[in-house]
A and B are shown apart, each in its own frame.
Chain A
Amino acid sequence: MKEFALIFRLKNITDFKPSPEQMQERMNWLAGIASQNKLVDKGNTLLPIPGSAKTVKPNNVVTDGPYTEIKEFISGYVIVKAETIDEAVEIAKANPIFDQVGGNIEVREVLKRD
């Protein structure tokens, strides 16, 4: 089994706060992965709001949040295990994010540091 990080991106910061129904659907999706015993780490949410997000650049340049320059921002991640990347992609496809808001999920194999 390989491990894959599913990285969530949202387009609009107003979509960041999910409704109770959306929360429920996301929870169902996550618990569905856990029920297949394929969840390695339920991950965390990365706060994109002012005061919780800054970007550090060369020459001590610090800007607020990632959202001022790029159209999408990372909102969180989970780590799953799967035989192949295609299987991990299938897991990602079932995420309700696509029905609800215009986001995307990046699937990346995890190479563990020894």
Chain B
Amino acid sequence: MDETKSHNELLPHLFRQEYAKMTAVLCRHFGLKHIEIAEDIASETFLKASENWAINGIPENPTAWLYAVAKNKTKDYFKHISVFETQIKEAIKPNEIETEKDFEFSSQNISDSQLAIIFAVCNPSNSTESQICLALQILCGFSVEEIANAFLTKPETIKKRLQRARTNLRNDNFKIKTLGETEIKSRLNTVLKTLYLLFNEGYFSKTNHQLIRKELCSEAVRLTLILTENNYTNIPQTNALLSLMCFQSSRLEARTNDKGEAILFDEQDKSLWDKTLIEKGNYYLVNACNGIEISKYHLEAGIAYWHTTPTDQNKWQHILQLYNQLVLIEYSPITALNRTFAFAKVYGHNQAVSEAEKLKLTGNNYYHELLGYLYADTDIDKAISHYEQAIGLIKSKTEKQTLTKEIERLKEKNSR
């Protein structure tokens, strides 16, 4: 009984970790055009593992076991292909599939292949949403259902999105093998952006599924880490992005309670912040300061850094400065709102109200939440009205509950 339980727990974990690596190495041998073959072999390997391990127990080195099976399956496939070729040779164009049989799942090979496939997946011919879906499926081994969960959409929608994206990749004819310095440089921005969005998808996810949120974040960190291990991709922006991810991840445990409700920054239990991750964030932030260019990842990492120092007196002054620069680089409603929040912390709620109202983001629930927060001490009726408008715009149940509680608190305060 115990055996079955541990095997059921281990397998999904291993699957995530190794599926993507396995597919990446195999893809390099089959070419991205034939990604399905690579995925089939990887899937069959895990199917065999789940059958075999249920009966015989988990082998001593599960990862090695998986790679040995995958290797054999690949050899079988190539054998099959060569038979196939002699019979219907003209059906398959020569050189379309690399038929070299000697390949290893060595650690060097794995990280190179993973890097190559990251660049293949982050293809600007696909929309950013599709890129994230593809990244989740191919690079992180997420199932269609899990992706649909993360995006709060139907599996059918995700399936269609993935199909279109894969067709695009195939038509684009991107060859993983030719990934050289020029390709890497021209595509690195897209890659960083995709990983940034992947992380955010986890960190600010619409789903309340804690496990999925955490896995999205840790996958984004894992992939960004791969980029820092290659000379071409280990640039200041990459380090800044990784630093940002470390700082944010350090608060993952503290920012939700056991019911999945968000805990505001001020009320977080700071002892739950992960100090090792904060140190890593510092380390990569220092690395990021090697160049002259200040990217938005630098600024966001800087903001996240100040958030890890709850006691500094000038903290909000620094944060406001960084938000000022950030909004000049790239406007986004959320940056504008966060900047205004920082403004309120420095110059007080009254001055911030007029700054906030200028934003006119009336269709955005965070806009109303911000105004609700800013009015709470001076004009309770206005505060409640804004919170109510926010509730009308929110989909998530737990967020609605949090605001409803706040409204009740304000009403009570008003009647006193």
Residues of A at the B interface (CB closer than 8 Å) are 24, 27-28, 30-32, 34-37, 39, 42
Contact B358 A32 (CB under 8 A): yes
Most buried by A among B320, B328, B335, B360: B328
Contact A36 B328 (CB under 8 A): no
- 17 further contact pairs, Cβ within 8 A, besides A31-B323, A35-B327, A36-B358: A27-B321, A27-B324, A28-B343, A31-B325, A31-B327, A32-B355, A32-B358, A34-B328, A35-B339, A35-B355, A35-B359, A36-B359, A37-B331, A37-B336, A39-B328, A39-B331, A42-B328
Q: Which residue of A lies closest to B330 (CB)?
A: A34
23 contacts across the A-B interface (CB closer than 8 A)? A28-B320, A28-B324, A30-B324, A31-B324, A31-B325, A31-B327, A31-B339, A32-B355, A34-B327, A34-B328, A34-B331, A34-B336, A35-B335, A35-B336, A35-B340, A35-B355, A35-B358, A35-B359, A37-B331, A37-B336, A39-B328, A39-B331, A42-B328
Interface of chain B residues 325 through 364 with chain A (CB within 8 A): 325, 327-328, 331, 335-336, 339-340, 343, 355, 358-360
Chain A residues with CB below 8 A from B359, complex form: 35-36
Q: Which residue of B lies closest to A32 (CB)?
A: B355
Interface of chain B residues 291 through 305 with chain A (CB within 8 A): none
Chain A residues with CB below 8 A from B321, complex form: 24, 27
Contact A36 B324 (CB under 8 A): no
Chain B residues with CB below 8 A from A42, complex form: 328
Chain B residues with CB below 8 A from A37, complex form: 331, 336
Q: Majority SS of interface residues in chain B?
A: helix
Chain B residues with CB below 8 A from A28, complex form: 320, 324, 343
Chain B residues with CB below 8 A from A27, complex form: 321, 324
Chain B residues with CB below 8 A from A24, complex form: 321
Q: How far is the CA of A32 from the CA of B328 in the complex (A)?
A: 9
Chain A residues with CB below 8 A from B320, complex form: 28
Contact B328 A31 (CB under 8 A): yes
Q: How far is the CA of A30 from the CA of B321 in the complex (A)?
A: 11
Chain A residues with CB below 8 A from B327, complex form: 31, 34-35
Interface of chain B residues 100 through 157 with chain A (CB within 8 A): none
Q: Which residue of B lies closest to A24 (CB)?
A: B321
* 6 shortest interchain CB distances as A-B pairs: A31-B324, A35-B336, A34-B327, A37-B331, A27-B324, A31-B327
Q: Which residue of A lies closest to B317 (CB)?
A: A24
Q: Which residue of A lies closest to B335 (CB)?
A: A35
Q: How far is the CA of A39 from the CA of B331 in the complex (A)?
A: 9
Chain A residues with CB below 8 A from B336, complex form: 34-37
Chain B residues with CB below 8 A from A36, complex form: 336, 358-360
Q: How far is the CA of A103 from the CA of B320 in the complex (A)?
A: 26
Q: How far is the CA of A35 from the CA of B323 in the complex (A)?
A: 10
Q: How far is the CA of A37 from the CA of B335 in the complex (A)?
A: 11
Chain A residues with CB below 8 A from B323, complex form: 31
A105 to chain B, nearest CB (A): 18
Chain A residues with CB below 8 A from B360, complex form: 36
Chain A residues with CB below 8 A from B340, complex form: 35
Most buried by A among B331, B335, B340: B331
Q: How far is the CA of A27 from the CA of B324 in the complex (A)?
A: 7
Q: How far is the CA of A27 from the CA of B321 in the complex (A)?
A: 8
Q: How far is the CA of A14 from the CA of B132 in the complex (A)?
A: 53
Q: Which residue of B lies closest to A36 (CB)?
A: B358
Q: Which residue of A lies closest to B336 (CB)?
A: A35
Chain B residues with CB below 8 A from A31, complex form: 323-325, 327-328, 339
Chain A residues with CB below 8 A from B343, complex form: 28
B327 to chain A, nearest CB (A): 4
Q: How far is the CA of A34 from the CA of B336 in the complex (A)?
A: 8
Q: How far is the CA of A35 from the CA of B364 in the complex (A)?
A: 14
Contact B328 A30 (CB under 8 A): yes
Q: How far is the CA of A87 from the CA of B321 in the complex (A)?
A: 26
Q: How far is the CA of A28 from the CA of B336 in the complex (A)?
A: 12
Q: How far is the CA of A44 from the CA of B186 in the complex (A)?
A: 29
Q: Which residue of B lies closest to A28 (CB)?
A: B324
Q: How far is the CA of A28 from the CA of B352 in the complex (A)?
A: 12
Q: How far is the CA of A28 from the CA of B340 in the complex (A)?
A: 10
A50 to chain B, nearest CB (A): 29
Q: How far is the CA of A36 from the CA of B335 in the complex (A)?
A: 11
A87 to chain B, nearest CB (A): 11
Most buried by B among A24, A35, A39: A35
A44 to chain B, nearest CB (A): 13
Q: Which residue of B lies closest to A42 (CB)?
A: B328
Q: Which residue of B lies closest to A31 (CB)?
A: B324
Q: Which residue of A lies closest to B324 (CB)?
A: A31
Q: Which residue of A lies closest to B333 (CB)?
A: A37
Q: How far is the CA of A35 from the CA of B356 in the complex (A)?
A: 9
Q: How far is the CA of A27 from the CA of B231 in the complex (A)?
A: 37
A65 to chain B, nearest CB (A): 29
B318 to chain A, nearest CB (A): 11
